């Protein structure tokens, strides 16, 4: 109980959290992070309102930032979906980075092996290979979790680091090394992603996956089993749902989705069409972690992740304006994402409590 | 040979400081998966202050920042009852963002260095002392008993008159400070320069070390020495044996592969029983006091 100017505040325990309240809390936490970020902008000497207007007008203008916003945003959608499907089963997937690298390896291996195949054959093969590589890598974590209850967060983080060096092994001085220092050979012409509405077709694929995942989780028996397992693994075991099956399944699914991003990222942007030098592909790999926060803010709803991912993409792309026009330091976009994360965590308080205000 | 050993002992020092802090957290029942983030923030603060003022001040500030973030984790997970993993993840992701923004603009070598004794960082004996101290406190003192009681069953501890909130806060702040100190000594003593996200997964290895130490400080010491050696071997194998046939990236994978193998081994049937006994019973569970 606290008192302030004749008002008294009291916290009250909430037992059942309603969906509407959870949505409100998510929205408020994002709104709050805008306020906090304004403070940083102000400290850096920029007018926050002007800065926000610049960020979003650049990021959403079709002739300026929009293609990049969609490409980057929907890249993070792959990661968000990979996180969501796994967390529905109560398991953390922080291995999107490694699964994305493995997807990259899968896609490029096919493209370099069959550079002369026509696009309609080659691209589906690359996508299938990317998904398969990612799924296999994710399944390692899932298998260890389901079979021996090994901590999935630590295993996935270790696998991410291993995958980073696997890509390094192939590109830097390795069999895929190109003529540009430290990056891979370019993708053959037919491997590059065709564009629909100024964006690679894989952007639409990501959105379609979100819809499919929504239906899968909500309306299929398997989706229901995942949900039951996520609610209480012990209950799930008693009704005959196998831990091993669920954890391998969700991690393989998550891995497959993450793996597809390995095609989307490099084959979908004319600035790449290759695996860039390690610092550059690592910077892209680091973006996959924002899938965690997208998934959490969207309360594990795949459909809500579509606009949220595009919104986060707009922040990353639009923030480049801050560097160019406002001469602000690099990294402000990542700071903004960090603030959204920590503010979301702080707002979790309202999942358990509400504050009652009374006069008197 | 000696320079290599001194370097690997320094990595052991960093792992040991971070891991013993986490061990203290977990003994009181609070899981903090954000050590990598705490190390990053401690490293950044240590780097910036160390560059401006001096190495030892940098180390202290790094520890203070770590303690502050530990406190923040306490506020989230103890007072606000946020899921401990969500809070830890949040701290880690926030740290990645904040540190990139804050410290990357100063990327480059550090001007000051702390003096070393025969190439060995003075942080190594300090870390050893810390481990001994924490072992002593946990095993032999009254407050250690309280910490362990809170970690096993906060409700029972509360009934017998232990203020579990105070105990848990104490542990997360001290644990966080040790994580921050680990990050600061990584930058000031080991690397001597700032580069983008310099911890490179060390915090996660430290977290794994706590898991397979069965929450015992002395096993933790052994694990840290082993992984310090492996980590340094992966970075500069040529100092041990010039003709190692494996290419650099493969060597770099070794500490991570070994971590997974260790985790798998301690999760097998034989070890699992010991593990379940040693694990603080209330680890990771938020506790509602009505």
Record: contact B80-A158, CB cut-off 8 A: no
Name every chain B residue with its beta carbon within 8 A of the beta carbon of A13: 288, 290
In this predicted structure, the answer to whether residue B68 has a pLDDT above a threshold of 70 is yes
User: Under an 8 A CB cutoff, do B264 and A166 touch?
Assistant: no
Q: Report the pLDDT value the prediction gives residue A6, as an integer from 0 to 100.
A: 65
pLDDT above 50: residue B248: yes
pLDDT at B256 over 80: yes
pLDDT band at B115 (very low <50, low <70, confident <90, very high): confident
Nearest-by-Cβ selection for A334 from B97, B200, B256: B97
Backbone angles phi, psi at A318, to 5 degrees: -65, -30
Contact B94 A286 (CB under 8 A): no
Check whether A3 has a pLDDT greater than 60: no
Tokens for B222? 């052994």
pLDDT band at A1 (very low <50, low <70, confident <90, very high): very low
CATH fold for the domain made of A46-328: ABC transporter involved in vitamin B12 uptake, BtuC (1.10.3470)
**What's the length of chain B?**
290
CA distance A140 to A72: 27
pLDDT at position B246 over 80: no
C-beta separation of A193 from A123 below 8 A: yes
As a whole number of angstroms, the distance between CA A308 and CA A299 comes to: 11
Asked if A247 and A135 count as a contact pair (C-beta separation under 8 A), the reply is no
Q: How many domains does chain B have?
A: 1
Residues of A in contact with B86 (CB under 8 A): 296, 345, 348
The answer to whether the CB atoms of A346 and B94 lie below 8 A apart is no
Predicted confidence at residue B37, as pLDDT, reads: 96
Nearest to A338 among B98, B197, B208 (CB): B98
Partner-chain residue, chosen from A158, A165, A293, that has the shortest CB–CB distance to B252: A165
Q: Which of B76, B101, B207 sits opposite A334 (nearest CB)?
A: B101
Say whether B263 and A166 touch across the interface (CB within 8 A): no
pLDDT at B287: 64
pLDDT tens, position by position, A159-180: 999 999 999 999 988 889 888 7
Interface of B with A in 161-220 (CB under 8 A): 196-197, 200-201, 204-205, 207-208, 211
Cα A152 to chain centroid, rounded: 18
Parts of chain A belonging to CATH 1.10.3470: 46-328
CA distances from B65 to A129, B54, B58 (A): 45, 16, 10
**Residue B240 or A98, more confident:** A98
- Tell me what the mean pLDDT of segment A72-83 comes to: 96
- Secondary structure (H, E, C), chain A: CEEECCEEEEEEECCCCCHHHHHHHHHHHHHHHHHHHHHHHHHCCCCHHHHHHHHHHHHHCCCCCHHHHHHHHHHHHHHHHHHHHHHCCCCCCCCHHHHHHHHHHHHHHHHHHCCCCCHHHHHHHHHHHHHHHHHHHHHHHHHHHHHHCCCHHHHHHHHHHHHHHHHHHHHCCCCCECCCCCCECCCCHHHCCCEECCEEHHHHHHHHHHHHHHHHHHHCHHHHHHHHHHHCHHHHHHCCCCHHHHHHHHHHHHHHHHHHHHHHHHHCCCCCCCCCCHHHHHHHHHHCCHHHHHHHHCCCCHHHHHHHHHHHHHHHHHCHHHHHCCCCCCCHHHHHHHHHHHHHHHHCHHHHEEEEEEEC
∠ CA A288-A155-A99 to the nearest 5 degrees? 35
Q: What is the pLDDT of residue B247?
A: 81
Radius of gyration of chain A (CA): 22
Higher pLDDT: A349 or B182? It is B182
pLDDT band at A269 (very low <50, low <70, confident <90, very high): confident
Read off the tokens for B221: 């010491």
How far is it, in rounded angstroms, from Cα A47 to Cα A315? 17
Model confidence over A203-216: pLDDT tens digits? 999 999 999 999 99
Q: Is residue B284 included in any domain, yes or no?
A: no
The pLDDT tens digits of the residues spanning A280-329 come to 999 999 999 999 999 999 999 999 999 999 999 999 999 888 888 888 88
Angle, helices B2-27 vs B217-235, to 10°: value is 140
**B9-37: pLDDT as tens digits:** 999 999 999 999 999 999 999 999 999 99
Task: For residue B246, report the phi and psi dihedrals to the nearest 5 degrees.
Answer: -75, 140
Structural domain includes residue B288: no
Pairing state between β A353-359 and A7-13: antiparallel
**Which of A186-190, B69-73, B278-282 is the least confident region?**
B278-282
Q: What is the Cα–Cα distance from B152 to B173, expressed in whole angstroms?
A: 19
Please give the share of chain A, as a percent, with pLDDT higher than 70: 98
Torsion angles phi and psi, residue A19, rounded to 5: -60, -40
d(CA B51, CA B194) in angstroms, rounded, equals 10
Mean pLDDT of B90-107: 92
The per-residue pLDDT for A271 is: 86
Please determine, for residue A29, whether its predicted confidence score (pLDDT) is greater than 90: yes
* Least trusted range by pLDDT, from A350-359, B113-122, B209-218: A350-359
> Which residue does chain A place closest to B253, by CA atoms?
A162
Residues of chain B in contact with residue A344, where contact means CB-CB under 8 angstroms, are 90
Binary contact (B101, A292; C-beta < 8 A): no
Q: What is the pLDDT of residues B144-172, one digit of tens each?
A: 999 999 988 888 888 888 888 999 999 99
Between positions 212 and 271 of A, the ones with CB within 8 A of B are none
Interchain contact, A341 vs B253, CB within 8 Å: no
In 3D space, the residue among B285, B234, B276 whose CA is nearest the CA of residue B259 turns out to be B234
% pLDDT > 90, chain B: 61
The pLDDT value recorded for residue A12 is 79
Interfacial A residues in 86-105 facing B (CB < 8 Å): 92, 94
> Taking CB atoms and an 8 Å limit, are B97 and A341 in contact across chains?
yes
Continuous H helices in B107-247: 123-140, 142-152, 154-159, 164-185, 202-212, 217-235
Residue B32 lies in a domain: yes
Calculate mean pLDDT across residues B177-206.
93
Judged against a pLDDT cut of 80, whether residue B259 lies above it is answered with: yes
CB contact under 8 A, A154 and B89: no
Is B73 a residue whose pLDDT tops 80? yes
Contact between chains at A158 and B98 (C-beta distance less than 8 A): no
CATH number at residue B91: 1.10.3470
**Residue of chain B whose Cα is closest to the Cα of A169:** B249
With a threshold of 0.85, tell me whether the complex ipTM lies above it: yes
Which of A50-64, A73-87, B65-79 has the weakest average pLDDT? A50-64
Mean pLDDT of chain A: 90
Residue B56 maps to a domain: yes
In Å, the largest CA–CA distance within chain B is 65
Q: Do B290 and A153 touch (CB under 8 A)?
A: no
Identity of the residue in A168, A330, A341 whose CB atom sits nearest the CB atom of B249: A168
Q: Which domain holds residue B142?
A: 2-278
Report A:11-70 residues touching B (Cβ under 8 A).
Answer: 13, 40
> How much is the pLDDT for A348?
87
Is B275 an 8 Å CB contact of chain A? no
Mean pLDDT computed over A90-104: 95
Q: pLDDT category, A4, cuts 50, 70, 90?
A: low
Model pLDDT for residues B31-52, shown as the tens digit of each residue = 999 999 999 999 999 999 998 8
Q: Which of residues 226-255 of B touch A (CB under 8 A)?
A: 247, 249-250, 252-253
């Amino acid at each position: 109980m606290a008192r302030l100017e004749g008002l008294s505040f009291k916290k009250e325990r909430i037992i059942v959290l309603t969906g509407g309240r959870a949505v409100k809390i998510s929205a408020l936490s994002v709104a709050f992070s805008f306020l906090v970020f304004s403070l940083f902008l102000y400290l850096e000497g920029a007018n926050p309102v002007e800065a926000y207007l610049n960020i979003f007008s650049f990021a959403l203008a079709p002739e300026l930032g929009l293609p990049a916003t969609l490409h980057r945003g929907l890249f993070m959608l792959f990661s968000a979906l990979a996180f969501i499907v796994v967390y529905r089963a109560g398991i953390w997937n922080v291995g999107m980075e490694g699964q994305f690298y493995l997807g990259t390896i899968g896609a490029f291996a096919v493209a370099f092996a069959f550079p002369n195949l026509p696009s309609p054959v080659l691209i589906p093969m690359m996508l299938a290979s990317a998904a398969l590589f990612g799924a296999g890598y994710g399944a390692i974590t899932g298998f260890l979790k389901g079979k021996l209850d090994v901590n999935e967060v630590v295993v996935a983080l270790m696998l991410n680091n291993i995958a980073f060096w696997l890509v390094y092994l192939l590109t830097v001085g390795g069999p895929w090394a190109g003529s540009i220092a430290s990056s891979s050979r370019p993708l053959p012409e037919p491997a590059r992603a065709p564009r629909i509405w100024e964006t690679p077709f894989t952007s639409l694929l990501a959105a379609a996956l979100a819809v499919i995942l929504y239906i899968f989780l909500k309306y299929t028996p398997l989706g229901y089993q995942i949900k039951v397992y996520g609610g209480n693994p012990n209950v799930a075991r008693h009704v005959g749902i196998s831990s091993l099956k669920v954890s391998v399944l969700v991690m393989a699914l998550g891995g497959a989705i993450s793996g597809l991003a390995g095609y989307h990222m490099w084959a979908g942007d004319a600035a790449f069409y290759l695996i860039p030098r390690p610092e550059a592909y690592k910077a892209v790999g680091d973006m996959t972690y924002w899938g965690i926060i997208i998934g959490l803010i969207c309360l594990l709803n795949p459909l809500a992740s579509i606009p949220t991912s595009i919104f986060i993409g707009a922040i990353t792309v639009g923030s480049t304006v801050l560097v160019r026009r406002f001469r602000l330091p690099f990294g402000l976009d990542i700071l903004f994402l960090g603030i959204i994360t920590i503010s979301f965590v702080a707002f979790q308080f309202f999942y358990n409590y509400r504050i009652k205000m009374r006069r008197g | 040979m000696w320079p290599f050993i001194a370097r690997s002992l320094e990595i052991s020092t960093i792992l040991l400081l971070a891991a013993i802090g986490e061990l203290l957290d977990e003994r009181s029942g609070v899981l903090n998966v954000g050590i990598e983030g705490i190390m990053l923030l401690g490293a950044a603060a240590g780097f910036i202050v160390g560059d401006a003022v001096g190495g030892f001040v940098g180390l202290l500030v790094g520890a203070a920042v770590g303690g502050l973030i530990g406190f923040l984790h306490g506020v989230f997970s103890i007072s606000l009852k946020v899921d401990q993993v969500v809070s830890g993840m949040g701290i880690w992701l926030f740290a990645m963002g904040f540190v990139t923004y804050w410290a990357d603009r100063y990327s480059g070598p550090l001007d000051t260095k702390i003096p070393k004794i025969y190439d060995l960082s003075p942080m190594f004996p300090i870390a050893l002392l810390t481990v001994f101290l924490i072992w002593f406190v946990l095993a032999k003192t009254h407050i250690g008993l309280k910490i362990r009681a809170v970690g096993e069953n906060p409700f029972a501890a509360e009934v017998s008159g232990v203020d579990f909130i105070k105990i848990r806060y104490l542990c997360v702040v001290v644990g966080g400070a040790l994580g921050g100190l680990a990050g600061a000594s990584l930058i000031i003593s080991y690397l001597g320069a700032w580069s983008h996200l310099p911890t490179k997964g060390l915090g996660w290895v430290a977290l794994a070390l706590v898991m397979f130490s069965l929450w015992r400080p002395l096993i933790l010491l052994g694990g840290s020495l082993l992984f310090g050696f492996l980590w340094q071997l992966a970075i500069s194998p040529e100092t041990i044996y010039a003709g190692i046939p494996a290419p650099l990236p493969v060597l770099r994978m070794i500490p991570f592969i070994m971590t997974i193998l260790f985790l798998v081994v301690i999760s097998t049937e034989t070890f699992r029983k010991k593990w379940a006994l040693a694990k603080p019973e209330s680890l990771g569970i938020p506790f509602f006091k009505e």
